[in-house]
Amino acid sequence: MFKLFPPTREGVETMGKNYSMTFFGKVMSFFALAIACSLLGTFVAYNYMMEFFMRTPNAIMVLFIIELAIIFTSRKWQNIPVVNKIMFGSFTFITGITIAPVIMSVAASYGGVMIIMKALLATTLTFVAAAVLGWTTKMNLSGMRGFLMMGLIGLIITGILSIFFPLGGRAEMIYSGFGVLLFSGFVMYDIQRLKVYPENMYIEAALQLYLDMFNLFLFILRLMSANRR
């Protein structure tokens, strides 16, 4: 589970001023690239790397560390031509690889393939609905920042504790449901932020949206799996 911190520029009072559709187009192009690279990574890992992961389970942890390193250094490479595209593509490709074992685990269970398909559809519809609300609302959503970050910290802490103290069925559904609501809120918040992003931060903006959708899918998948159990 990952999330970048919001850009340092605060407020959304001047949302409509000097807004460039070129910036929006760049964000959406990189967002589409992120989805494509992630799907490719999942396909490659699912078909060619599962045996390797079973033999060397620590490899997943290494990939997680690489993901974190790329995320936390994004401000340093996002404006370097060529390098930014390589790092962006590499990160989203790796996240596709790391989610492959989860996809395989769900797919191997009874009715698992259908759950994955439903989760993908639900993620798409939820993301689009939240994005439309975030883009069209006249409310200033910048006040959501504190709640969203506290909620994210709570999710991370609970996730770590659940490694040592597994959640029961009901607790898992509550945890996953809260995650769905939280990242739906992040989608609304980050979509509205597109109107005030500096022109040179389109890669970070695209990465924010990708992380929102990626985590939204994970929690919807967890929620559907927990509900089936």
The confidence score (pLDDT) of residue 12 equals 44
- Helices 58-72/83-108 angle, 10° precision: 140
Helix (H, G, I), strand (E, B) or coil at 70: helix
Q: Which residue has the higher pLDDT, 225 or 163?
A: 225
Q: Confidence band (pLDDT; 50, 70, 90) for 24?
A: confident
Q: Which residue has the higher pLDDT, 102 or 228?
A: 102
The confidence score (pLDDT) of residue 1 equals 59
DSSP 47: H
Contact between 190 and 134 under an 8 Å Cβ cutoff? The reply is: yes
Contact between 92 and 32 under an 8 Å Cβ cutoff? The reply is: no
The confidence score (pLDDT) of residue 192 equals 93
- Per-residue pLDDT tens for 90-128? 999 999 999 999 999 998 888 889 999 999 999 999 999
Please say if the pLDDT value at position 205 is more than 90: yes
Q: Which residues of 69-106 are buried (b: 16+ CB within 10 A; e: fewer)?
A: ebeeebeeebeeeeebeebbbebbbbbbbbbbbebeeb
- Percent with pLDDT over 70 in the chain: 90
Domain ranges within the chain, ordered by starting residue? 21-228
The confidence score (pLDDT) of residue 3 equals 59
- Per-residue pLDDT tens for 124-149? 999 999 999 999 998 989 888 889 99
Helix (H, G, I), strand (E, B) or coil at 49: coil
DSSP assignment string, 126-168:
HHHHHHHHHHH--S-GGGGHHHHHHHHHHHHHHHHHHHHS---
DSSP assignment string, 62-74:
HHHHHHHHHHHTH
pTM of the entire structure? 0.85
The average confidence (pLDDT) of the chain is 87
DSSP 5: P
Contact between 144 and 189 under an 8 Å Cβ cutoff? The reply is: yes
**Which of 132, 166, 37, 45 lies closest to 91 in space, CA to CA?**
37
Q: If you average pLDDT over residues 172-185, what whole number do you get?
A: 93
Contact between 212 and 187 under an 8 Å Cβ cutoff? The reply is: yes
Cβ partners under 8 Å of residue 57, min gap 6: none
User: How far separated are the first and last CA of the chain, in Å rounded?
Assistant: 23
Helix (H) or strand (E) holding 111: none
Task: Note every long-range contact of 116-124, with CB atoms under 8 Å and residues 24 or more positions apart, other chains counting.
Answer: 116/221, 118/224, 119/217, 119/220, 119/221, 119/224, 120/217, 122/220, 122/224, 123/213, 123/216, 123/217, 123/220
CB atoms within 10 A of CB 130: 22
Using alpha carbons only, how large is the chain's radius of gyration in Å?
18
Please say if the pLDDT value at position 159 is more than 70: yes
Q: What's the CA gap between 52 and 148, in Å, rounded?
A: 37
The confidence score (pLDDT) of residue 142 equals 86
